[in-house]
Structure 1
Amino acid sequence: MKRFLIYTGIIIVITILIAVGLDGIYTRIFMESKNRGKIETVINSKAKKYDVVILGSSRANNHFVSQLFEDKGLKTFNFGMSGGHLFEASLLLKLMIERKYEIKNVILEADLNLSNDQEAEGVSTKFLPYIHNSEVIKKHFYDEENFNELYYIPFYRYVKYDSEIGFREVYKTLIVEKTNALDNLGYYPLVKHKNGNMKNNIVNLNPLPHNKYYEEIKSLCKTNNINLITVMTPMCENVVGMNYFDKVKKTYPEIYNYENVVKEDKYFSSCGHMNDNGARIFTARILNDFFNK
């Protein structure tokens, strides 16, 4: 029995040491990454200056044409992240401020995501390699129910979220394999799809009366003298429950409602995402309304 306990103890110690070693190796590789995605680009960057920073979900990523801002002399980058919620948008802005970014304007896409204050797991996990290297990230995740496992158990986060930050991603980071996330100044243009879903039902969607992460973004901008422009972006014509946008406006009167600026299906790739032509019409309107003075 004694020998069994000794062997068991040795195996446990070796397992812990391996986990700690692998955790350190994976983290080190991610700490050197700068060209695969928007999150690590910000985390591993130094102070930058922007006239316009765009934040939000895919409805920001696919709807704001960065180059059109640049053509007006406005240094711009679209940090919208497909699948992201306001949880991730707030954290990304915190990290920019932590790295002493100078930002004049933030354009925030906030419409459908005002209905929740949860993390978007597929996006938020990409912050986890840096949880021990950034107090901002640690605090942002602190109230999540699995924080203790993620923070205190070595290598646990890499195993649990292997599909996002596991071996495959580490390998691609190590060989410096680029993605298209940073192309077009962060803007991702869509094309018109013949089989695009041109129907949507948001009748049961309601904005939260106090969205924690939207309030965080407002507070961050106010504290750091950043002009915040929050907008709702267009959806196609065949949406059931379009009064959701009226409910958002009633709850958050400071948000600008642009859901009806582009309507025709020919300008959409799917019901919730405009194609490149639609995005250019929409971006031109934003430029004219806010930056043509």
Structure 2
Amino acid sequence: MKKFLLYITKIFIIVVLTAVLLDGLFTFSFLHSRNRGKIENVFNSDSQKFDVVILGSSRANNHFVTQMFEDKGIKAFNYGMSGGHLFEAALMLKLMIERKYEIKNVILEADLNLSSETDSHSVSALFLPYIHNSDIIKEQFKEKEGFSELYYIPFYRFIKYDSKIGFRETFLTAVGKKTNALDNLGYYPLEKHKNGNMKNNIVNLNPLPHNKYYEEIKTLCKENNIKFIAVMTPMCENVIGMNYFDKVKKAYPEIYNYENVVVENKYFSSCGHMTNSGAKLFTARIIQDFFTENSRSLNKYKK
């Protein structure tokens, strides 16, 4: 029995040491990469200067044509992340501020995600390789279910989210394999597809009266002298339940409503995402309204 217990103890120690070693190797790979994704690009960066930083979900990533800002002499980058929620947007801004980014304006796509304070498992997982190297990331995840396992059990986070930060992603990160996430200054253009979903029902969607992560972003901007521009972006003409945007206006009167600036289906790849052509129309309006000397009155967008 004594020999058996000793054998089990040795196996346990070997497993733990292996997990610690693998955890260190995987983490090392992510800590030395800047060209695969937006998160590691920010986390492993030094101080940068931007006139405009764009945050949000795919409705930011696919809707703000960053080059159009640059063409006007406005240094910008689109940090919108497909599938992302306000949880991840707030965390991205915190990391930028920690790295002493000088940002004049933050444009936040704030509409559908105001209805939830949950994180996006597929996107938030991409922050986890750095959880032992960042108090900011640690604190952001601390209140989430399963935090203790993710933080204290070595290599567990890489196993649980294998499809996002597992062996394949770690290997590609280690060899410096690029993705298109940073192309086009972070903007990802979409085209019209025959099978695009041109129907959407948001009747049962309701914005939270006080979204924690939206308020965090708003407060961070105020504390760091960053102009905060929150906008609702367009949806196609087939959407059922468009009064959701009226609910957002009532709960958050400071958010500018641009949901009806582009409505024709020909400008949409799917009901919630514009094509490159639609995004150009939308971006031109944003630049005109906020970044020209003769910017028009925005009162009608606040109603």
Q: How does 1:182-201 map to 2 (within 5 A)?
A: 182-201=182-201
Shift of the alpha carbon at 1:174? 1.3
> What stretches of structure 1 move > 4 A for 4+ residues in a row?
none
SS in 2 for 1:230: strand
SS in 1 for 2:54: strand
In structure 1, the partner of 2:274 is 274
CA deviation vs aligned residue, 1:25-69 (integer Å, no higher than 9, x gap): 000000001000000000000000000000000000000000000
CA deviation vs aligned residue, 1:219-242 (integer Å, no higher than 9, x gap): 100000000000000000000000
Q: How does 1:114-129 map to 2 (within 5 A)?
A: 114-129=114-129
Shift of the alpha carbon at 1:195? 1.2
Distance in 1, matches of 2:289 and 2:139, equals: 37
In structure 2, the partner of 1:35 is 35
What letter matches 1:21 in structure 2? L
Distance in 2, matches of 1:94 and 1:128, equals: 15
Q: How does 1:1-293 map to 2 (within 5 A)?
A: 1-293=1-293
SS in 2 for 1:82: coil
Distance in 1, matches of 2:9 and 2:197, equals: 56
Distance in 1, matches of 2:31 and 2:195, equals: 40
What letter matches 1:255 in structure 2? I
TM-score (norm 2): 0.96
Distance in 2, matches of 1:27 and 1:196, equals: 38
What letter matches 1:166 in structure 2? G
SS in 2 for 1:240: coil
SS in 1 for 2:97: helix
Shift of the alpha carbon at 1:175? 1.4
Shift of the alpha carbon at 1:145? 1.2
Distance in 2, matches of 1:101 and 1:174, equals: 26
Identity of aligned residues (%): 73
Shift of the alpha carbon at 1:194? 1.2
Shift of the alpha carbon at 1:72? 0.8
Give the length in aligned residue pairs: 293
CA deviation vs aligned residue, 1:123-154 (integer Å, no higher than 9, x gap): 00000000000111001101011110010000
Distance in 1, matches of 2:168 and 2:272, equals: 31
What letter matches 1:218 in structure 2? K
User: Structure 2 regions of 5+ residues with no counterpart?
Assistant: 294-303
Distance in 2, matches of 1:265 and 1:143, equals: 41
Distance in 2, matches of 1:74 and 1:147, equals: 40
User: Structure 1 regions of 5+ residues with no counterpart?
Assistant: none
SS in 2 for 1:228: strand
CA deviation vs aligned residue, 1:79-110 (integer Å, no higher than 9, x gap): 00000000000000000000000000000001
Shift of the alpha carbon at 1:119? 0.3
What letter matches 2:129 in structure 1? P
Shift of the alpha carbon at 1:6? 0.5
TM-score (norm 1): 1.00
Distance in 2, matches of 1:275 and 1:201, equals: 20
Distance in 2, matches of 1:67 and 1:9, equals: 59
SS in 1 for 2:260: coil
What letter matches 1:66 in structure 2? T
Shift of the alpha carbon at 1:193? 0.7
What letter matches 2:180 in structure 1? N
